[in-house]
Structures are given as structure tokens and as C-alpha cells.
Structure 1
Amino acid sequence: MSAVIAQWQDPHPQQRSPGDGIELTAVVAGQESLLTPAALDFLAGLHRRFEPARQARLAARRERQAYFDAGGLPDFRADTAAIRNGQWRVAPLPTALLDRRVEITGPVDPKMVINALNSGAKVYMADFEDSTSPTWANLLTGQRALRKAVAGTLDWMAPDGAKHYTLKPFEEQAVLMVRPRGWHLDEKHVRIDGAAMSGSLFDLGLFAFHNAKALAALDRGPYFYLPKLQSMEEAQLWNEVLDRVEAELGLAPGQIKVTVLIETLPAVFEMDEILHALRTRIAGLNCGRWDYVFSYLKTFRAHRDKVLPERGQVTMTQPFLRAYSELLIQTCHKRGAHAMGGMAAQIPISGDEAGNEAALAKVRADKLREVTAGHDGTWVAHPALIPLAMRIFDERMPTPHQQHVLRDDVLIIRDDLIKPCLGTVTRAGFEGNVEVCVRYLAAWLEGNGCVPIHWLMEDAATAEIARTQLWQWLHADSLFLDDGTPVDFALLERALIGLPSKLAERMKLPGGSKLDEAIAMLDRLTHADTLEEFLTLPAYERID
């Protein structure tokens, strides 16, 4: 891929004046302060330089999936064995990223940005991806909020005027990291030379253009989380992009640091290679476990012997997920990078002390498992979980990280990573997938990508698991619920028909106005002969 990138050149570099070929297809108030002529020129330059390579990588994904659909299995690459066997390490980590024991993640609206930076977590991952519905207004509101946060001027007043939110002093704030959208997503509101721009390049490029120099001066990066990678070539593409961003913005080489989410099944077989491709700037890998389960389902969509049980039974204690986690720790620590744990999505359960304590017990067990296994940090979705997670990591990890825990006891082979777990599909599990997918999708279509459902803070990954499991179960041969009921489209129809009355009281919640649209979309997606690659692709066509 690097050769492809290096060979492509703008065919008419002297024939464009600033702004030529750039079209904005939507307008929100005040966007000119962000999308200045200089910023748009910078974004257009990234698009023209890297769009052919992005499309090549997406084509490679389709080819690989066709191989899996024909019965092929993912495996460690023979052509990169020298990288896996080599004695190399990534560049030293900056001081601000040495201790990441608890990170909080969430969308980029001003209130969330303030609360997350003030939360007491070590890191806040500002998310333009799975927890943000990418309406034009949401994206620009997020970019504006982050720009003000970096400048130290962000505040927010509650609509009723009852509370005024302001930032704590800089030294008391969490370290800011930003997650752009994945390579597969377009930004339809920005067209360059007639083509939609990459959502990845728009999110990262616009943030870097406005904030990179200020963050570098503060010794805070800029730092990014990179999602949905499937190969080392995709990591190489990101490295080329970041080299270009540094050069264009006058940053030192390697100034930008990244953490890569290992949240696709193909990527788990290329962790060494991904670290190597980004070795001058990578800070770690993260167990993006919900998207990883989704990727497992999608990768094996045509493999009837790899159907998973209902998602409540697919926990990190299952052998194939434990293998993934332990291999990630071993790989990162061998190379001098952090191995970050996964998300605790629980939120406080008001008015139910017993239920709340049961939920917190699950969080304790999960975080204890992570720190005992050797993870260097973990994620939470709600500020109330930060003290609990911090206490567990403080007690078990007195050092800033655990890179000294090499996990030489871990010996993972291909089959350990792809063997499905045993379990069942209950009626509650089937209907729960229908409800969660519809409720989340309805909220997303309404512009909300971070949705509390059944006392869990859900993002797109949960909806993806739910609808992919439904598709796989419905297209499998002779699958039955644990009570003997056939899993067929009649069962789905009954669940969908019953949803509006079941959710009548929730119609006032986010997504209520889009409930019928979400039901119809899930019905179409599950009936389709081929599994849609991402739920957000057809849904994106239906938002502004």
C-alpha cells in the first residue's frame, strides 16, 4: 500500500486555486469559523492524496470477505513472519500516555466533553465514531466543542439555566484523545472533485488543523484512537496520512500518537504487523470487544458451524475472547506498547439498590479480570464507574502500567481465536436483540448515537451485534430456541409487530419518532440474502 500511496500524484497540481472542486452540501450556523478556506484546502489535499489508497483498501476488504464466504479462515500471514519474529519495539511513549489506567469514552457534545475532561479519568476518548450519529450538526458541534476545550474556553449552560458547566484547570483534566470514523465511512456533506470525502480524514483532519499545534505546545499530542482496522496495510495508510498531516501543519515527525482498536477478527492476526506499521507513533492496542464480536459474526456469516449463542452469553470469559485478550497483552508488552482493556457499559440504576449492586459486581469482576491478566488500563462509559475501576487498578497495578508483565505463558494458535463458544438462544435473547437494535437505530436516525437501554450505555457496536445475530440465526439451517421454537421469519415478525405497544411508554425517549422507520429497516436488513456490511451505511443515507 505504501507504494501505491507514494506513486499517486495530483494530476493537475497547478490548476486548482483554493476552494476549487470543494462542495459543501449542508449548512449549519457558524460553520464558516471551522470550515475556513484554509481548512477546506487542507482537507481537500488529504482527500486527493489518499482517496485512491482508501478505495484500494476497501476493495481488499471485500476480496478478503469473499474468501471467508467461500469457506476460507483467517490466519497469521506467512509473508509477514519476519515482522512477528523480529526483535523490535515501538517508539517510547510520551509522559502524558504512560498512565492510562482508566479511560472514559463518549460523544462530542459540549456537556459530555466538559464532564468527561473533568471526570477524574486519565484519558477521555472523544468519539466521532460509534457513539455519535454523524449528522452534519453533530459533527460540527463536536469539532467546535473540542476546539474550545483545547483552548480552555469551553462552557455549557443547561437549557433551564439551572447549571453552568465549566472546565477544571488544564492540569486536572483527562488527556484528550479523538476517535475519527473508520475507513469505510464517507462524509457525504463534503465533496471533493465530485466525490464524497472520507469520514476518517474529515474528522481527524479538521481536528488536527485547528488543534494540533496547540496540543503539541501543551505536550498533549495530538492523540487519536483509530477504529475498525483490518490489516497492516490499513495501518500503513494511516501512518502515511499522519506523516502528511505533521508535515503540512509543521509538527515534528512522530508528534501525533495513536492507539489502535483491535475490534475486527482479521486484525487480531496482524497485531504485530499493525504495531510495526505505526511503530514511530503507536501508544497501544485496545480490546474493542463489542465490535470484535460483531466482526466475528460478520466474518463467519456464511459459516454455519460458527453461529454464536445470544450475546448475553458471549462474555470475555469465553475461550475465544480470552485468547484474543491475552494475545493482545502479550503482543503489546513484547513491543513496548500499552494493552488497553474493554468497555464497562453499565450506568447507575436509580431506585434499585439490589440491581445496581449486581451491575457493579459485574464491573468489578470484569476489571479485576483485566488487571490480573496484565492490561494497562480499561474503559468505562459513565463517570460513576471511574472510582470503582480506578480503585481496582490502583490496588493491583501500583506502577503506571504493566508492560513488564510479558505473558510468556500465553501460546495462542489460529484455532483458539476462531473456535465458537457453546450456548443457547432463548426467546428473551432473540426478542432482546430485536428491541435493542430497533431502539438504538431509531435514536441514531434521530441524531443520538449514545443511548441508555436497560441500564447500559449502548453505541453502534451493540446494535451491530444484535442485527447481525438476527440475520445469522434467521439464515441458519434448523436453528431453534432453547424451548424448541423454530427461529424463522415468523418469529421475527411477531417480535417486530409487538414492539410499538411494548415500547409505548418509551416513545418519548430518544428515537421515538423514528421507531417505525427503524422497524422497517431492521426487517429489510434481516430479510436480505446478503448481510449488510455495516448497519450505519444504509442508515447514514437517511440522516441530514
Structure 2
Amino acid sequence: MQLLGSVGERDHEMLTDGALGMVRMLHHKFDDTRRALLAARASRDPGTVPDFLVETASIREDETWRVAGAGPGLEDRRVEITGPVDRKMTINAMNSGACCWLADFEDATSPTWRNIIDGQVNLHDAVSRVISLEQAGRTYRLAEDRRLATIIVRPRGLHLDERNVRIKGMPVAGALVDFGIFLHHNAKRLVAQGLGPYFYLPKLESHLEARWWDEVFTSAERWLGLDHGTIRATVLIETLPAAFEMEEILYELRDHAAGLNAGRWDYIFSTIKTLGDNPSYVLPDRSAITMTVPHMRAYTELLVRTCHKRGAHAIGGMAALIPSRDPAENERAFAAVRADKDREAADGFDGSWVAHPGLVATCDDAFSTVLGERPNQLDRLRDDVDVTAEDLLAIGKISGAVTEQGIRTNVTVMLGYTSAWLDGRGAVGINGLMEDAATAEISRSQLWQWIRHAVPIADTTSVVTRELVESLLQTELEQYDAPRARVLYDLFVRTTLADELPDFLTSIAYREQLLEEAVR
């Protein structure tokens, strides 16, 4: 095993023989299968419209099986805060009043080596209850007068390698690095605290990928001498193919499954990626794709019904608002967030996500109004819901258009986020919203789709063309210095203006980030 990243003063505490031994074991046992699963994704016919699987119908029809459900300290999830694993965010999230904190190594973290290993240090200190920070004359530490948020770690997706950790010259999966190091150092301490090692699993596309994770969990538990089922996972249903396999995903993970989450932003991106070649499935401006449009409503209602049928938590989507200093703007924005959370609570969700501590009370109040003192509403089975494949694919029923402002906003978000990501920031405030990798993916994939189908621009006689997007790109690039502008232009062309849509922005940008890290 080779470690190629820069060395920090506390790396030796995380990169121990025991932790690296676990990563090595998991790599040897599971990397070949991971690569086969990724190859299966790549081989999927881009013209195929997803449907419920015939070969797994018996799992969906069997009314008897249930998942393990919430682990200790995970019963009440009415409000969860998400964010990167930097030290200040770790402390603020734990103190926020949220029930849970999604400690994010994925979409909200730019995977520089320092971010990854320092994030592990921060989580270990948080689990050990010794974390503190001196910054700008202030001291940040964990509160002693309130309940701290339960930590749920989101490792990187299966597609992302960690190129600073190599075995026989091959990069190790970022997911196994994030999972293995955290579990080795914290699992037994969490169990001793009456909690457990909990994870969010991102970007799964099939029940076979859920089976892979279940086998990883089982092997890791045996390696550490943990009881089977100690690990609990919540799966983000944030790809269109996964929406057709919700029950199968829970079934494969049933001894380790806690719930499913409606990962709304990546779900929109996946919809474009899966169906983007088909002009019947063109999406309008991102602002028009609300959670009440037909196909998004069908997706969330099916998720709640599926979860509660199987004894799993249903967790709602992200409120990405960043509170403003403008009172009038804040009032409008908070009202929209409250309406979104009221809808989720009324639909049967057991909790939801926010991106900023200032939104915790709003989300908490919305769910507490429905839940009262109950920790969840798993008893609300939603037998009234009957979602078909056609409902999940009712994209043409959205009322909305592609506008000049929507095109410009996508260019701005794509460039602004990519630049920040290269600098090591994975969660970025842009135009009052907390943007992460998922929203950057929506921005570039929408531009690609609109160009591909020459979509008409509202209130004009024009259509979206490559030339139009490039002209907006050149204007936006004027705010960056020349070296960064060249890098951003190259990445934009490769990820957004290519003939075929690349799977992930971050996979391509990661190579550039490594080059910039080496130069620094």
C-alpha cells in the first residue's frame, strides 16, 4: 500500500496499521466487484427507459419481510443537518439542535487529501467529545447543555477513487477509505456510548450495489468483532434507476437498513443523465422543478410508502437556503422552506434535511407539529399511494420553460462551484443557496441536454445552442484570473459541451485538482 498525499501533523493517528489493514482487506475482497458494478452501469443502453424489475417481483410482493430499522440514537430524525467535515462545521452541526448530522465526505466535501484525513480527525475528536477550535478570537467547542446530533457519515460514491491511496499501483475506492478509517477508529466507542456507526450511502443505481455494501458491512463487522447488524445505513434514492428498486435495495440491506432518503438534487441530475438523449424528457429551468411537479411527487410518495411498509425511516430532501441579512428576503425564503417541510411531514416523512443551522428550528417545528412527542410516523403506511412507472416518468407534465436567466444561472453555478471545488471547498454559497456537487451536476447536464435538443428559449425566437452557451461562458470567465479561467474553460468544454454527457463532473475535475495540489 502506498500513501501519496501530503502529511499532516495528526495523520499518524488516523493512518494506523489497524485502519489501513481494514481498508486493505476491504479492497482485496470487494474492489473487483465494485469495478464490475461500475462497468454494468456504463453498459446500460442509454435509450432504455427504466421500469420495475420482473425478476425481483417476488421481493416486492412478499409482505412479510422488514428491515432492522433505526439503531440506538437514531429513532428520532425529524431534522438532520448536512455539511462538510471541516472542524468548524463539525462543531456547529453537533451543537445545532438537529437530531442528526450527515457528516459528508461526498457532495459537500472537495476530496483533497487534507480534507479527507483532517475530516477523519475531526470526526474522531467529535465522537471522543474533545473537539474544539480557536478561530478569529473565538472558541468553538461542543455544548454541554443540550443533546448533540447523532453522526451519520456519508462516504464517497462507488465511482470515486482515492488516488492518494494505492494498492499494487491501483487506487483504492474513496468509499472504502472513508468507511474503513471511520469505522476502525470510532465504531466501538460509539457502541459504548449507546449509539452506533451509521452511514448514508450515495448514488446507488441498483439493488446489486446495495448487496455489495451489505457484504462490506458484514465483513467489516467480523473484522472488528462487532455484532452483525451493528452498522446501520440509510440509502439516498438519488438516481432514477434506484427509484424503481427501492424495495429491493432495502431487502438487500435489510439487516443493516435504517431508511431511505429523497436526494432531490442528484435525482434531477440522474433523470437527465438517464433520459437525456430522449427529447420527450427535456426538463425546464431548475427553479421550475419543484417537489410538487408530478414525477417528483410520485417519487417521494413511493419512497414514504416503501419505507413504512418495510419498517424503515423515510427522510425528506434538502433545504439549501442560506439565511440572508435582508429581513424581507428572509421572510419569503423561510416561508418557502416551512411550506416544503410542512408538505413532507404531512406526506408521512419521518424527518428532513437542512444545510444551515439557521433552518433547524423551522424544520423541527414543521415536523413536531405533526409528530408531537412521537419520534417518527412509521405507523403511517400510506396504503393510499399507488405509483406506476408512468408516474415516475411523467416529466413532460411539468409546466415550465427554459429561459435566458436559467441558462445564465447554470453557467454561473457550474463555473463558481467548480472553481471553489478545485480550491478545496465542496459546499459553496451562490445566490443565496448552498450549492454542492449535485447542483453543479444539474447545471451542466441541463445545458448539455438543452443544446442537444436545440430547446426553444422562452419569450424569444431563439433556441439553445453551443455558441450561445460559449458566449455566456466567456463573459463569466472574465472574473477569473487567466490560469484559473483556462482550467475552468477546459473542464466546462469536457463536461458540459461534449458530444456525450460524462457521468460525473467530479471524476474529471479530480484529476485537475490533484495536479493543482501537486503544484501547491
**By the TM > 0.5 criterion, same fold?**
yes
Displacement of 1:513 after TM fit?
A: 7.7
Question: Post-superposition, which runs of at least 4 consecutive aligned residues in structure 1 deviate over 3 A?
Answer: 477-482, 512-516
1:63-212 → structure 2 map (5 Å cutoff): 63-64=43-44, 67=45, 69=46, 71-87=47-63, 88-158=65-135, 160=136, 162-169=137-144, 172-212=147-187
Equivalent residues of 1:474, 1:526 under 8 A apart? no
Match of 1:287 in 2: 262
Q: For the residues of structure 2 that align with 1:513 and 1:400, how far apart are their CA atoms?
A: 52
Equivalent residues of 1:130, 1:449 under 8 A apart? yes
Match of 1:225 in 2: 200
Structure 1 counterpart SS, 2:379: coil
Equivalent residues of 1:109, 1:142 under 8 A apart? yes
Match of 1:59 in 2: 39
Structure 2 counterpart SS, 1:543: helix
Displacement of 1:478 after TM fit?
A: 5.3
CA deviation vs aligned residue, 1:397-450 (integer Å, no higher than 9, x gap) = 212111111111111110110121242111000000000110000000111000
Q: For the residues of structure 2 that align with 1:487 and 1:513, how far apart are their CA atoms?
A: 28
Q: For the residues of structure 1 that align with 2:497 and 2:146, how far apart are their CA atoms?
A: 53
Equivalent residues of 2:454, 2:463 under 8 A apart? no
CA deviation vs aligned residue, 1:461-498 (integer Å, no higher than 9, x gap) = 00000000001111114543442222111211221121
User: Residue 480 of structure 1: which of 445, 457, 461 is its match?
Assistant: 457
Displacement of 1:529 after TM fit?
A: 1.0
Q: For the residues of structure 2 that align with 1:141 and 1:52, how far apart are their CA atoms?
A: 28
Displacement of 1:363 after TM fit?
A: 0.2
Q: For the residues of structure 2 that align with 1:534 and 1:170, how far apart are their CA atoms?
A: 43
1:415-434 → structure 2 map (5 Å cutoff): 415-420=390-395, 421-434=398-411
Is 1:527 paired with 2:510?
Answer: no
Equivalent residues of 1:439, 1:515 under 8 A apart? no
Structure 2 counterpart SS, 1:176: strand
Counterpart code for 1:29: G
Match of 1:394 in 2: 368
User: Residue 518 of structure 1: which of 452, 467, 488 is its match?
Assistant: 488
Q: For the residues of structure 2 that align with 1:322 and 1:328, how far apart are their CA atoms?
A: 10
Q: For the residues of structure 2 that align with 1:175 and 1:526, how far apart are their CA atoms?
A: 38
How many residues are treated as equivalent by the alignment? Answer: 509
Match of 2:28 in 1: 48
Q: Is the alpha carbon distance of 1:400 and 1:382 closer, same or farther for their aligned partners in structure 2, counting shifts above 3 Å?
A: same
Equivalent residues of 1:442, 1:515 under 8 A apart? no
Point out the more displaced range, 477-486 or 103-112: 477-486
Equivalent residues of 1:424, 1:482 under 8 A apart? no
Equivalent residues of 1:445, 1:514 under 8 A apart? no
Match of 2:517 in 1: none
Equivalent residues of 1:446, 1:514 under 8 A apart? no
Match of 2:275 in 1: 300
Point out the more displaced range, 134-143 or 210-219: 210-219
Structure 1 counterpart SS, 2:323: coil
Q: For the residues of structure 2 that align with 1:513 and 1:132, how far apart are their CA atoms?
A: 23
Is 1:24 paired with 2:3?
Answer: yes
Equivalent residues of 1:152, 1:170 under 8 A apart? no
Equivalent residues of 1:298, 1:468 under 8 A apart? yes
Counterpart code for 1:90: V
User: Residue 265 of structure 1: which of 206, 230, 240 is its match?
Assistant: 240
Displacement of 1:60 after TM fit?
A: 1.1
Equivalent residues of 1:329, 1:374 under 8 A apart? yes
1:490-501 → structure 2 map (5 Å cutoff): 490-501=467-478
User: Residue 314 of structure 2: which of 328, 339, 344 is its match?
Assistant: 339
Equivalent residues of 1:96, 1:219 under 8 A apart? yes
Displacement of 1:525 after TM fit?
A: 2.4
Match of 2:518 in 1: none
Structure 1 counterpart SS, 2:153: strand
Structure 1 counterpart SS, 2:287: helix
Displacement of 1:232 after TM fit?
A: 0.5
CA deviation vs aligned residue, 1:213-244 (integer Å, no higher than 9, x gap) = 11111121101101000111000000000001
Q: Which runs of 5+ in 1 are unaligned?
A: 1-21
Q: Which runs of 5+ in 2 are unaligned?
A: 515-520
Displacement of 1:516 after TM fit?
A: 4.4
1:235-250 → structure 2 map (5 Å cutoff): 235-250=210-225
Equivalent residues of 2:69, 2:257 under 8 A apart? no
Equivalent residues of 1:102, 1:390 under 8 A apart? yes
Q: For the residues of structure 2 that align with 1:129 and 1:533, how far apart are their CA atoms?
A: 16
Point out the more displaced range, 489-498 or 319-328: 489-498
Equivalent residues of 2:78, 2:99 under 8 A apart? yes
Q: For the residues of structure 1 that align with 2:432 and 2:62, how far apart are their CA atoms?
A: 46
Match of 1:18 in 2: none
Q: For the residues of structure 2 that align with 1:93 and 1:131, how far apart are their CA atoms?
A: 25
Equivalent residues of 2:309, 2:381 under 8 A apart? yes
Counterpart code for 2:59: I
Displacement of 1:526 after TM fit?
A: 2.5
CA deviation vs aligned residue, 1:337-389 (integer Å, no higher than 9, x gap) = 11000000001111x21111111111011001100111000000000001111
Is 1:378 paired with 2:343?
Answer: no
Counterpart code for 2:204: L
Q: For the residues of structure 2 that align with 1:366 and 1:29, how far apart are their CA atoms?
A: 42
Displacement of 1:168 after TM fit?
A: 1.8
TM-score, normalized by length of structure 1? 0.91
Equivalent residues of 1:308, 1:422 under 8 A apart? no
- Measured on the aligned residues, the alpha-carbon RMSD in Å equals 1.5
Counterpart code for 1:297: I
Q: For the residues of structure 2 that align with 1:143 and 1:231, how far apart are their CA atoms?
A: 28
Q: For the residues of structure 2 that align with 1:92 and 1:458, how far apart are their CA atoms?
A: 31
Q: For the residues of structure 2 that align with 1:181 and 1:542, how far apart are their CA atoms?
A: 18
Match of 2:19 in 1: 39
Is 1:360 paired with 2:337?
Answer: no
Q: For the residues of structure 1 that align with 2:195 and 2:476, how far apart are their CA atoms?
A: 47
Q: For the residues of structure 1 that align with 2:100 and 2:180, how far apart are their CA atoms?
A: 21
Match of 1:14 in 2: none
Identity of aligned residues (%): 49
